[in-house]
Amino acid sequence: MKTLQKETNDKIYVGKLKGDSMKNAGLDNGDLLIVDTTMAFYDGCLAVCEIDQQEMVKRIRIENENIVLIAENPNYENITIQKSEVALINGVVTHAIKDFSRPSENDKIIKLE
């Protein structure tokens, strides 16, 4: 397995999360993520990864000689990066910023008169 750290001039950047594959990690669609491109990834961290030119946020698990990209939503399958494959890790997610001005799907909006 070959893991590459993305070369970039931006050491830290902010990205907007799209999708719900990380909802059980407390990350929701639209959250802003602070990503550090200089940090080495480690077992259990949240990272921005790139597979087949598709960027995604997943939890990293290191199992034997493989890397498993863990979705924190049972509706999504985990992705195993085999020893012979290449994984591009764009950075480690260090913080998340939530937007509390928008209701979530479970919120009930009560209009006060």
Q: Which residues are catalytic?
A: 21, 58
What is each CA distance from 48 to 17, 58, 105, 107, 109, in whole angstroms? 10, 7, 25, 29, 33
- Alpha-carbon separation of residue 65 from 38, 41, 58, 85 (angstroms): 23, 15, 18, 11
User: What Rg, from alpha-carbon coordinates, does the chain have?
Assistant: 16
Distance, in Å, from the CA atom of 37 to the CA atom of 66, rounded to the nearest integer, reads: 21
